[in-house]
Chain A
Amino acid sequence: MKIRLWLSWLCVVTVALGSLLVAAIAEDPPATEAERAYEIKATILCPICDGQNVLESNAPVAAAIRAQVDELVEQGRSDEEIRAWMARQYGADVNAIPPRTGVASLVWMVPVFVAVVSVGALVFAFVRWRAGRELEVSEEDLRIARALREKN
């Protein structure tokens, strides 16, 4: 019975890991210039519309930015250079990805810090609960329990 359970799990895990492996291999990084330009455009916000990136917006300025991204990609500029260029041209708030330097980096770090602290707090609570439970049962308690059981 137990062996059968183990074997079944082996099958399940094999199928799952196999699928994940195939999925991971099938996904290739942006290869062509057009793909790279597309990914950059998805992270540049249209300066006059609220919350839409330049891919989604129909505004003329969004169309202009799309063309500029294509041109800069063609010139062989790196993603970072293009983003910096856009920030100089249209203001830092067209970059949908907050920077990882300066005060702005807090937006990336604080959640990780909070997550670590709260998981730690939960672990601490479990340890304390466990300790508390061990303290609760004294010899005296056990003696009373035994006495009661005999009585019944």
Chain B
Amino acid sequence: MTAFLGTVGVGIGLVGAIGGAVTLVMALSFRRREHHLRVFWWVGAMTAGCVLAVLAMEIGLLRDDFSMQYVAANSTRATPWLYKVATLWGALEGSLLLWALVLSGYVAAVTASFRRRIEDRLVAWALLTMLAVCVFFFGLLAGPADPFGTLLVAPPDGDGLNPLLRNHPLMAIHPVMLYLGYVGFTVPFGFAVAALITGRLGEGWLVTTRVWTLIAWGSLTVGILLGAWWSYEVLGWGGYWAWDPVENASLLPWLTGTAFLHSVIVQERRGMLRVWNLSLLLATFALTIFGTFLTRSGVIDSVHEFSASSLGPLLLGLFAAILVLSVALVGWRGDQLRSPGSIDSPVSREGAFLANNLLFTLFAFVILLGTVFPLIVEAINNDQLAVGRPYFDRMLLPLGVALLLVMGVAPLLTWRSTSGQLLGTRALGPAALGALTMAAAVWLGAEGLGPVLGIGLGGFVIGSAVRHLALTARRQGWRAATGRSGGGMVAHIGVSLLAFGFIASTSFSEEGEFQLRPGEVGSVAGHQIRFVQLTDEMDGPNRVVRAQIEVEGRGFYAPAITQYPTFGRPIATPSVATSLVDDVYLSLVAIPEENSDVVVVRVLVEPLVGWIWVGGFVIAAGTVLAILPGRRNSHSEMEDIFA
């Protein structure tokens, strides 16, 4: 019965999406008001259908309805309710259902917020594009990835999720944020396509979609960082980023999206870079689909492979369709996209934005190449090879350093051109902060040219962002931190904090592995850890071994290792003694032998790793501030005009 409700919901969603699309085609052909107005009903029906389907799935999960195939395969009676709810996005079909829900939500929100402009051809084409994407995803749910398959005989209990997916509450938020980001780029994509089709290629559509792009970008940023945090808290190896193909796939649209957020300022201000901005936006959406293809098709080995499937060809088809449509549209409108104006000097704000774009695109290119390269080589001569972390570290380090430099310099530059003298005066304070940061880092024991340079540039970026905010604050008070430039500067500070955490934790971490009896002590990087005692319990069918460990000056921690009967190797649950200075990361290496009280514990001391999460929070705050309307004619802009 519940499954039936779900199927009905998906059906209503599909019909709503198709109906909406057909109505819009008619509205655009016959230009009749009543056709346009009917879109509200179709979009409403689609969204309601999707909500019904999601509710049906959640009810099935919460009520342990194992006659539903999805519930039987991915949930158990013993699963806590939070993870039952989160099981919706724990496997392929459910995660597509979540995708459809987020997409319907966005389409409904766009329809509602543009209700007064519903007859505008730009809005109509944008909605049509988004509804076409909806048709695709509801189509998947209605056929190849039906989440509501039923079993003739309901098993007494289900199989349950991969245990890695049900031992941390972040699992309940990370995928949702990620999808809010991925799917959110459908909105600017729709408007970009609409602008190309209607030929209204001025700056209007950009202003229209600004907030939507920021929401999508902010959610994607937070989603990616929550994923990193989850991996740090759960996977037990003490890292948060492995250049895993799926991580790379989520970073690709983020990079092109970030490039877009910056270069769009040049277009709004100077009317330039139109083709480039459209291409970035189209590429961003295409890359979200490409990322989904990588995650869902199983073409590449990855820790995220738990939801691999045969949807590969369909998603690849959609990706190809988007690519062809984009190239064709940009080619068709090529003449109209030629923008007036030119950039006078490389040493100018717009010059810095160009440098930013070049670096972000190269960054994305290296990641894309490194990710798909093993596939290419295998196709060419059947060789198996891996492109791992050392490759990405080595290739991306210079780009990252250059990005930090540009990030620090750009806010100091004026539009059109900046004289050396002016730059020299403005850059002095931030550069001094950068130099002091470096000196402080070296004094605290940092070594190595790359890491210390990166830390110094981080200080420089903070100096230049704070300078910008402080100058604006003289006129505007706290509102200096709102609007695009204010929020942007706050986000820059967040990126610097994140960079500090990333650099320090990757370059200066220390580790040790100890075999300890109760009462024995190990020491890493000045931290004494003392093994107190072992507990060995059954939690339902699972064997949980927990070691109580005292970290000197931080208190007691209890890393555990669990043997699930339904899952081969034991899963370690690390425990982290966090502080703003460093994290002491404890994880058990193996289940202790029977009748033995010796534990093997791996201890990692990672300096400043907590700053990554703090930085992420600051970036998110900056995004929210950027969405708030700022004052036009801010101090810095006046300054630019008279400089």
Contact = CB atoms under 8 A, between A and B. Distances in A.
Given A19-B439, A23-B446, A98 B373 contact: yes
Interface string B426-457: 00100110111011011000111101110010
A23 B390 contact: no
B438 A24 contact: no
B388 A53 contact: yes
A111 interface: yes
Given A15-B435, A27-B449, A114-B362, A45 B388 contact: yes
Contacts of B373: 98, 104, 106-107
Nearest to A87: B385
A88 to B, nearest CB: 13
Q: Which of A5, A119, A125, A129 has the most CB of B within 10 A?
A: A129
Given A9-B428, A50-B303, A51-B244, A98 B391 contact: yes
Contact of A16 (B239, B344, B425, B435): B435
Given A12-B431, A52-B237, A93 B384 contact: yes
Given A15-B439, A53-B389, A98-B391, A59 B569 contact: yes
B236 A133 contact: no
A22 B391 contact: no
Main secondary structure of the interface of B (DSSP, over half): helix
Interface stretch (B27-35, B284-292, B364-372, B544-552): B364-372
Q: Which of A23, A50, A95, A98 has the most CB of B within 10 A?
A: A23
A97 B342 CA distance: 43
Contact of B242 (A26, A52, A111): A52
B82 interface: no
Contacts of A15: 435-436, 438-439
B385 A95 contact: yes
Contact of B432 (A12, A18, A106): A12
A73 interface: no
A24 B365 contact: no
B113 interface: no
A58 interface: yes
Contacts of B386: 45, 92-96, 98
Interface in B91-108: none
Contacts of B358: 118-119, 122
Contacts of B243: 51
Interface string A99-119: 100011011101100110011
B368 to A, nearest CB: 10
Contacts of A23: 438, 441-442, 446-449, 451-452
Contact of B456 (A9, A16, A110, A130): A16
A111 B369 contact: yes
B327 to A, nearest CB: 19
Nearest to B373: A107
A67 interface: no
Contacts of A53: 388-389
A21 B244 CA distance: 34
Nearest to B343: A129
A107 B369 contact: yes
B383 A96 contact: no
A58 B438 contact: no
A100 to B, nearest CB: 11
B78 interface: no
Contacts of A92: 383-386
Contact of A96 (B237, B369, B388): B388
B456 A19 contact: yes
A76 interface: no
Given A8-B432, A58-B572, A19 B452 contact: yes
Interface string B230-262: 000000111100111100000000000000000
Interface string B575-609: 00000000000000110000000000000000000
A138 B244 CA distance: 57
A97 B301 contact: no
B305 interface: yes
Contacts of A18: 439
A12 B428 CA distance: 8
A107 B424 contact: no
Contact of A26 (B369, B377, B447): B447
Contact of B390 (A22, A91, A97, A110): A97
5 contacts: A12-B431, A19-B452, A58-B590, A95-B385, A97-B390
Given A19-B438, A22-B442, A53-B389, 5 more contacts: A12-B432, A19-B456, A52-B237, A97-B388, A106-B373
